[in-house]
Structure 1
Amino acid sequence: MPLPRPLTLAAAAALLAWLSGCAGAQATHALPRPPLEAASTSAAWPTAAAARVIVEPGVEYTRAGDQPLLADVLRPDPPGAARLPAVVYIHGGSWRRGTREQGHELLPQLVATGRYVGVTIGYRFTPAHPWPAQLHDAKAAIRWLRAASERYGVDPGRIAVWGESSGGQIASVLGATGGNAALEGDLPLPQGLRRPATPPSSRVQAVVDFCGPSDMDAFFASAVTPEAVAEMHGRLDPLFGGPPPERADLVRSASAIRHVDARDPPFLLMHGTRDEVVPFRLSAAMHEALSRAGVPSVLVPVADWGHGFRGAEIDRRVLAFLDRHLWGKPVSVSGEPVRAERTPE
């Protein structure tokens, strides 16, 4: 019987979304190796030979009350080393919608290099679960991944977080609040997972933030027309349990720029210069704050582009950043503007 033709990256992402949506799915699935011509053009992750991507969908990483919180784990076959760094993806959706399957548009290309394990997580939504539930969920995912690192071939000392839009906000706060017990939350490790002798940390070693609002006060104030103000209240009032001016402590806790200090991990900030949802200047201010604190930070403007972006050079910058800070490769990460090729699917 002839072997099936390799899936395109778009078809692979669709298959992953279907697999992850199957009720009770716990099986491990393998995606065929992507065609090398796709890896060298549309994907743009430089690799000599693409690995297969092994997918374990619907893994419970914690439980908030009766609600299980799930992750999909993507591993390369064969892996490039016994223990690989991991990249945890946090999707966007204004804190009230979206799915972990959004990470399947980006992570398979990264994992196919053979150098990374990818994890894409779900988290609790507003209005039922206001801030800091989303941060607590993300921190619980990092602790779980460290506790389960042997199972997934992950180096627990090399974990990055990557978020987009509201997911970028969560990722940035997570990165800037390592060791902050007040924002850690108390979500448990899943049942059946062996408890390590030392409680695992939620610190990460690198942050990639695509167009996330790093200053929630400035984000709220960026709405100036009546229509924009109403839309902003629709986003943020459910997040904070009321209008942001009346929730000053929560707004501050949700602003990564308010937590910056010299202990923070390296940041890669990418943002459209014509973003009308989250102004570019918020990422510029975050970059300045990180730089003043002595934290390695690269700000990459996505020239003449709005909210959400994809492109080959964008992929290359992300990979260079991760290779530099998780593999110690002597590569530079340019802050020169890039051009986007399309919006996210």
Structure 2
Amino acid sequence: MTDLQPVPEQRKTLTHANCVVSIPLGYRPLQLDLHVPPGDGPFPVVLWIHGGGWLSGSRVWTVDQRFHERMVARGYAVADVDYRLALEATYPAQQADIEAAIRWLRHHAAALRVDAGRFAVLGESAGGQLAAIAGLTGSGDTAIQAVILWYGPADLSTLRNQDDPFTGPALLLGGPLSERTALARLASPLHNIHPDAPPFLLVHGTEDEVVPFAEAVGFAEALRAQGVRCDVLPVEGAGHVFTGASVEVGTLTEAGADFLDDVLGRQD
């Protein structure tokens, strides 16, 4: 029997729903939902990029059930972004989808009351890989000014099960990792670091067995070696998706807002 999903809760902060940002030929239209604080703005915007192992999930998935309320209350617009999953299209289609969302938001910034010069991305798990790549490769109309990763993988080229064609990363890249080394490095944040990258905040559970905490530490060290600011917030005792965390997930959302206040600057 198919598992029935719960009725979604009303999103009280939702301002613009189902905005079509691109129509890739042969695929479904890609959309985003936008939550904008009240007032004239312009407000900095955070693109939320969901996880799900590149195989599941949608833009309405959140880890913190009050994520939008918290961010909007802190003066940040939030754009919930969809991208093609691995069984719809292989990489770099997902990167192109995130870039399309960034371009659309920046093009319509004035009408949407968002600040074209203050764009951040926040991705969790697989979405963290996409968020990091967006931050590291964006320029011009796809530029990103700050990145927050929640337990995102930094290096796809060294993952386990290199010869298995059915893992999430293998399906993302179109074949076993052992046969996709160059593409895996191209998709890996660790191998795209450069001195002009935006500041990063890594929020990661110390007991994460899916993406080990040591991967976040190594990624932070590599960023700092290039002169890029990278803050690390260990979540003691937490596994993947912050399971078993000793703190409420909302405090991690607030920590992200504190980081953005610092690197993007507040405009009260």
TM-score where L is the length of structure 1: 0.69
Cross-structure match for 2:61: 102
Report the CA distance between 1:108 and its aligned residue.
Answer: 2.7
Report the CA distance between 1:235 and its aligned residue.
Answer: 1.2
Cross-structure match for 1:289: 222
Larger relative contact order (CA 8 Å, sep ≥ 6) = 2
Cross-structure match for 2:10: 15
Give the secondary-structure state (helix, strand or coil) at the position aligned to 1:59.
Answer: strand
Give the secondary-structure state (helix, strand or coil) at the position aligned to 2:61.
Answer: helix
Report the CA distance between 1:144 and its aligned residue.
Answer: 0.8
**1:71 and 1:268 mapped to 2: Cα distance?**
24
Cross-structure match for 1:336: none
Residue type of the alignment partner of 2:43: L
Cross-structure match for 2:245: none
Cross-structure match for 1:57: 17
**2:266 and 2:178 mapped to 1: Cα distance?**
43
Residue type of the alignment partner of 2:103: R
Identical positions, percent:
35
Cross-structure match for 2:35: 74
Deviation sequence 1:176-215 (CA, Å, 0-9, x none): 1124xxxxxxxxxxxxxxxxxxxx6111000000001011
Instruction: Number of aligned residue pairs: give it.
Output: 254
Cross-structure match for 2:254: 316
Cross-structure match for 1:129: 89
Is 1:203 the counterpart of 2:143? The answer is yes
* 1:54/1:76 contact within 8 Å kept: no
Is 1:269 the counterpart of 2:207? The answer is no
* 1:87/1:162 contact within 8 Å kept: yes
**2:107 and 2:228 mapped to 1: Cα distance?**
27
* 1:272/1:306 contact within 8 Å kept: yes
**1:161 and 1:304 mapped to 2: Cα distance?**
25
Report the CA distance between 1:88 and its aligned residue.
Answer: 0.5
* Match runs of 1:203-222 below 5 Å: 203-218=143-158, 220-221=159-160
Structure 1 residues not aligned, in runs of 5+: 1-11, 17-30, 32-52, 180-199, 330-345
Deviation sequence 1:136-176 (CA, Å, 0-9, x none): 10011111110010111011000000000000010011111
Write out the 4+ residue segments of structure 1 that deviate beyond 6 Å after TM superposition.
none
* 1:74/1:108 contact within 8 Å kept: no
Deviation sequence 1:103-158 (CA, Å, 0-9, x none): 48322321123x11110011101123011111110011111110010111011000
Cross-structure match for 2:47: 88
Cross-structure match for 1:111: 72
**2:250 and 2:137 mapped to 1: Cα distance?**
31
Greater Rg by CA: 1
Residue type of the alignment partner of 2:212: P
* Match runs of 1:139-158 below 5 Å: 139-158=99-118
Aligned-residue Cα RMSD (Å) equals 2.2
* 1:178/1:264 contact within 8 Å kept: no
Report the CA distance between 1:327 and its aligned residue.
Answer: 1.6
Deviation sequence 1:293-319 (CA, Å, 0-9, x none): 111110111111100125243123111
